[in-house]
Amino acid sequence: MYRVLISDPLSEGGIRPLLEATDVETVVNPSLSHEQLLREIGTSNAIIVRSQTQVTRELIEQAPELRVIGRAGVGVDNIDLEAATEHGVVVVNAPDGNTISTAEHTMAMLMALARNIPQAYHQLKQNKWERKKFVGVELKDKTLGIVGFGRIGKEVAHRAKGHRMNVVAYDPFLTKEKADKAGVNHGSLEEVLQQADFLTVHTPLMDETKHLINRDSIQLMKTGARILNCARGGIIEEDALYEAVKSGKIAGAALDVFEEEPAIDHPLLSLSEVIATPHLGASTIEAQESVATDISYDVMELLRGGTVRHPVNMPSVSAEMMERLSPYFQLSEKLGAFLSKVVDGALERITVYYSGELLDVDTTPLTRMAIKGILQRYIGNRVNDVNAFKTASDKGIVINEQKSTSTKGFTNLVRIEIETDRETRSISGTLLIGLGARVVMLDHHSIDVVPHGHLIVIQHKDQPGAIGRVGSLLAEYEVNIATMQVGRTNQGGDAVMVLTVDKEVEENCREQLAGVADIRQVQCLTL
């Protein structure tokens, strides 16, 4: 049974899949104190939040069972991604469901800002019929500068064009060609700032975007321009905006978000030119139902061992690529686990080679599984596919990935090589259609072994009688041999025997096997 904690208000309809799942216990409590939250997360396998709950390192460290943090929305700046990754916790968001609502909210703010609607409404409610004071500006033929041309930025552009505005956008991923296709002008950040009558930001809040719009950038803007922020507080430097509005450089601002929320008694709110909403961009029935449904499905999918569409702290793989790669996940992990259990010494370097069908695909997810398989021997399930690379690099292990044209006659081949301070060993495996994973080489010996169950790997000298002696000894310990493979380089030379047996081999038995003439090393492993 999985335990999922929902600590922010989420649409009831949206979380129905979770409430109805027979393998999930869902705890919904959006008003937990900090102490209660620490206690509740301690036994949860997943937590789902919006923007209120701060998923801090402290919280993550209190949650030994936590596997997933689900964000019902886009921004993940309230989640300590580094701590989540370090602890192998997958962070997943639901970025599609609130795009339209946030773009529509931005347009509502744009129009309200241009026509002073909140201010005029406020006066009228106080029985003051003021008309002269609230003369606005038209949007038609004005330039809307958009910083951040992702999902929301694009939807805002589309709507602004409906108002016959000129749109100029800046985004590091926006090329002139893409801008032409979207019917907007492409500019540098400086150009967007210089040309905008209205400037709206739609980037995530990250180190690179913190105070992206600051005193210096505001100086580049036209006097009398207006600024909107329906993305995140902190993208615009609040003190600089305050001064710019106060001085008349900026004619007005519309803010849905603040550096610190809830924003109560905020200096910007004291300015009549500043209109504001309390982080309502995504607050529509449709958006809330949509993000809650998306995140409920993805959290359940992850807990059940599946894959998700929008992982935040691991690279997302397209559905098509996932279909091609997923059969190799187990092969890579098992090869890694196998090799880690026979290699001796402190790990220094892991190199994974791919060939055949795997030559032209991004094999990073397979390397991640291989590393996970290897490191599990040393740190158990503290390593997983989220933190595999980070864990390896924290331990000073160098990871290499290489494509190779050497297929050894197989349609696909994964070869892992581990270098330690004592030796270098390698294993190769392939995926046989309809038959599954096979180990086809251990070091330079050809074998054919299913990487599963209890295995005995014996390094020996190729001499008559070696196999018989091993068989007799195992029989004495009532260990039944299921399969046996022998690989050798040349007659009378080094050889390897890999046996699959029906039960775990006792240490006594292993020691006696190791004492048999011509046997150099015996290793027992379970995969």
Ligand X SMILES: O=C(O)CCC(=O)C(=O)O
Ligand Y SMILES: NC(=O)C1=CN([C@@H]2O[C@H](COP(=O)(O)OP(=O)(O)OC[C@H]3O[C@@H](n4cnc5c(N)ncnc54)[C@H](O)[C@@H]3O)[C@@H](O)[C@H]2O)C=CC1
In the bound state with ligand Y, the residue whose beta carbon lies nearer, of 258 and 353, is: 258
290 part of the interface to ligand X, by CB under 6 A: no
281 part of the interface to ligand Y, by CB under 6 A: yes
Q: Residue 221 and residue 119: Cα distance in Å, rounded?
A: 24
Residues 171, 237, 238, 443: which binds ligand Y (CB under 6 A)? 171
Residues 282, 366, 479, 509: which binds ligand Y (CB under 6 A)? 282
Listed residue (431, 433, 437, 481) closest to 458, CA to CA? 481
In a 3-state reduction of DSSP, which class is residue 49? strand
Site string for ligand Y, 210-249 (x = CB under 6 A): --x-----------------xxx-----------------
Q: Which residue has the closest beta carbon to ligand X?
A: 73
Site stretch for ligand X (CB under 6 A), options 275-283, 371-379, 387-395, 430-438 = 275-283
In the bound state with ligand Y, the residue whose beta carbon lies nearer, of 208 and 421, is: 208
Instruction: Supply the minimum distance, in Å, between the C-beta of residue 9 and ligand X.
Output: 9
Residues 45, 98, 203, 340: which binds ligand X (CB under 6 A)? 98
95 part of the interface to ligand Y, by CB under 6 A: yes
Site stretch for ligand X (CB under 6 A), options 129-137, 276-284, 351-359, 369-377 = 276-284
284 part of the interface to ligand X, by CB under 6 A: no
In a 3-state reduction of DSSP, which class is residue 160? helix
Instruction: Supply the minimum distance, in Å, between the C-beta of residue 206 and ligand X.
Output: 13
105 part of the interface to ligand X, by CB under 6 A: no
Among ligand Y, ligand X, none, what binds residue 313 when CB lies within 5 to 8 Å by partner kind?
none
Which amino acid would we find at residue 171? D
Non-local (6+) Cβ contacts of 374 within 8 A are 336, 337, 339, 340, 347, 350, 416, 418
Instruction: Supply the minimum distance, in Å, between the C-beta of residue 286 and ligand Y.
Output: 13
159 part of the interface to ligand Y, by CB under 6 A: no
| Tally of CB atoms within 10 A around 199 | 27
Among ligand X, ligand Y, none, what binds residue 172 when CB lies within 5 to 8 Å by partner kind?
ligand Y
262 part of the interface to ligand Y, by CB under 6 A: no
User: In degrees, to the nearest 5, what angle opens at C-alpha 96 toward C-alphas 172 and 312?
Assistant: 65
Among ligand Y, ligand X, none, what binds residue 228 when CB lies within 5 to 8 Å by partner kind?
none
73 part of the interface to ligand X, by CB under 6 A: yes
282 part of the interface to ligand X, by CB under 6 A: yes
Report the catalytic residues: 232, 261, 279
Q: Residue 37 and residue 60: Cα distance in Å, rounded?
A: 11
Which amino acid would we find at residue 125? K
Residues 73, 234, 252, 336: which binds ligand Y (CB under 6 A)? 73
Listed residue (345, 342, 299, 375) closest to 459, CA to CA? 342
Q: Residue 95 and residue 91: Cα distance in Å, rounded?
A: 12
Site stretch for ligand Y (CB under 6 A), options 40-48, 97-105, 423-431, 458-466 = 97-105
CA distances, 519 to each of 35, 465, 524 (Å):
60, 11, 14
Residues 204, 259, 273, 324: which binds ligand Y (CB under 6 A)? 204
Among ligand Y, ligand X, none, what binds residue 204 when CB lies within 5 to 8 Å by partner kind?
ligand Y
Angle of helix 117-125 versus helix 99-115 axis, rounded to 10: 70
Q: Residue 172 and residue 215: Cα distance in Å, rounded?
A: 21
Contact 179, 141 (CB under 8 A): no
Instruction: Supply the minimum distance, in Å, between the C-beta of residue 87 and ligand Y.
Output: 23
Instruction: Supply the minimum distance, in Å, between the C-beta of residue 230 and ligand Y.
Output: 5
157 part of the interface to ligand Y, by CB under 6 A: no
Instruction: Supply the minimum distance, in Å, between the C-beta of residue 153 and ligand Y.
Output: 6
Q: Residue 157 and residue 512: Cα distance in Å, rounded?
A: 76
Site stretch for ligand Y (CB under 6 A), options 52-60, 192-200, 202-210, 301-309 = 202-210
| Tally of CB atoms within 10 A around 413 | 23
7 part of the interface to ligand X, by CB under 6 A: no
Side-by-side strand order, sheet with 90-93: 24-28, 2-6, 46-49, 68-71, 90-93
- Range 108-113 contact pairs with CB under 8 angstroms and sequence separation of 24 or more: 109/228, 109/230, 109/254, 109/256, 109/275, 109/277, 110/139, 110/144, 110/160, 110/198, 110/200, 110/228, 110/254, 111/139, 112/254, 112/275, 113/198, 113/226, 113/228, 113/252, 113/253, 113/254, 113/275
Contact 353, 404 (CB under 8 A): yes
Among ligand Y, ligand X, none, what binds residue 50 when CB lies within 5 to 8 Å by partner kind?
ligand X
Q: How many residues does the chain have?
A: 527
187 part of the interface to ligand Y, by CB under 6 A: no
Summarize as ranges the residues that interact with ligand X (CB under 6 A): 50-51, 73-75, 98, 279, 281-283
